């Protein structure tokens, strides 16, 4: 069922834009500016694509954007799906299967997050080295379809070491000083309590957010290399002096967006598809 739906979505997308992207990018809340750096763009609203989930979060455009940066053909997701919107884990990773079917080999995933590591500051960008899934749920739960991947996928390199070094090398050229650390997925939609943040810090998290991990799991399962970049829009509960608001998160994300775009565009120009 899932397989047929994925194939149907992919054929529809191909009927609108018959290009083979090598790299996929998922753009987090307020982080859509990269789309302006793409050439020869084709936009496909999610609402047009059969079987695609539909989201209604402020700050999300909700469309696929095909285009090129340098010689690299890319497809960006401007707007992503979250567990807290009520999607099943399987629904919210559906687009990753479609992008893989369209041809992508690597996936960059960006997000807005809260900083837990005391040396982080709002405005920082963190290369994700590893994740902690606190959800007690996983997008691969259910019968396995061997046409996509194996029953028990390895996650020892959920974020490609090669891509992490590449991102670090490119950062200095783009004038960016990135952080590195572990991203913890929290279900949301409420922000964490101060006690939860202390607990997350104790188990090794440097940052917390409500996305990215499901897509990372699905992408690894599908054999894609993943690079994750978490943009620190605020310090987490109990560390921050003020209360959180989504408007504030999006406003800071918008400010970080230019730095992120410069860095990611510099990477894409030199990207070596495996
Ligand atoms: N917690 C969870 N998700 C977030 C945060 C946070 O503090 N900031 C941005 N996304």
Tell me: the pLDDT tens digits for 148-188? 999 999 999 999 999 999 999 999 888 999 999 999 999 99
Within the chain, strands assigned E span: 23-27, 39-45, 63-69, 72-78, 106-115, 125-133, 179-185, 207-209, 225-235
Predicted TM-score (pTM) of this structure = 0.96
pLDDT at 235: 97
- CA–centroid distance, residue 237 to ligand 1 (Å): 9
Within 6-51, strands assigned E span: 23-27, 39-45
Q: What is the mean pLDDT of the chain?
A: 94
Which residue of 60, 80, 113 sits with most ligand 1 atoms within 8 Å of its CB, as the best mutation to test the pocket? 113
* List of the chain residues with pLDDT < 70: 1, 55-60
pLDDT at 123: 94
Q: Rounded to whole angstroms, how far apart are CA atoms 137 and 156?
A: 19
Q: Whose CA is nearest to atom 7 of ligand 1?
A: 114
- CA–centroid distance, residue 113 to ligand 1 (Å): 4
Q: Which residues are catalytic?
A: 29, 60, 82, 84-85, 112, 210-211, 234, 246
CA of 115, closest atom in ligand 1: 7
- CA–centroid distance, residue 241 to ligand 1 (Å): 14
pLDDT at 29: 76
Q: Rounded to whole angstroms, how far apart are CA atoms 22 and 130?
A: 23
Domain boundaries, the chain: 2-269
Domain 2-269 CATH superfamily: Nucleoside phosphorylase domain (3.40.50.1580)
Instruction: Give residues (CB < 6 A) around ligand 1.
Output: 112-114, 186, 191-192, 208-210, 233-234, 236, 244, 249
pLDDT at 1: 66
Distances (CA, A) of 199 to 36, 74, 173, 181: 39, 38, 36, 16
pLDDT at 60: 60
**211: phi then psi, degrees, rounded to nearest 5:** -150, -160
pLDDT at 28: 85
């Amino acid at each position: 069922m899932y397989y047929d739906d994925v194939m149907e979505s992919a054929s529809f997308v191909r009927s609108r834009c018959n290009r083979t992207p090598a790299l996929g990018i998922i753009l987090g809340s307020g982080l859509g500016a990269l789309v302006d750096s793409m050439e020869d763009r084709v936009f496909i609203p999610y609402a047009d694509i059969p079987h695609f989930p539909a989201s209604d979060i402020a700050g999300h455009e909700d469309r696929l954007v095909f285009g090129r940066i340098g010689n690299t053909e890319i497809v960006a997701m401007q707007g992503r799906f979250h567990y807290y919107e009520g999607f099943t884990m399987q629904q919210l990773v559906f687009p990753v299967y479609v992008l893989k079917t369209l041809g992508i080999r690597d996936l960059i995933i960006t997000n807005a997050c809260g900083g837990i590591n005391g040396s982080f500051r709002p405005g920082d960008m963190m290369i994700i080295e590893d994740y902690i899934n606190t959800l007690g749920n996983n997008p691969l739960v259910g019968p396995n379809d061997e046409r996509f991947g194996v029953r028990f996928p390895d996650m020892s390199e959920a974020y490609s070491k090669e891509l992490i070094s590449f991102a670090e090398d490119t950062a200095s050229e783009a004038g960016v000083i990135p952080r590195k650390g572990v991203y913890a997925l929290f279900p949301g939609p409420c922000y964490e309590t101060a006690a939860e943040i202390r607990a997350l810090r104790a188990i090794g998290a440097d940052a917390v957010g409500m996305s990215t991990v499901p897509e990372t799991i699905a992408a690894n399962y599908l054999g894609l290399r993943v690079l994750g970049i978490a943009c620190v829009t605020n310090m987490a509960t109990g560390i921050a002096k003020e209360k959180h608001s989504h408007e504030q998160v999006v406003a800071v994300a918008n400010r970080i967006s230019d730095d992120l775009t410069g860095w990611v565009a510099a990477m894409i120009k030199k990207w070596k598809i495996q």
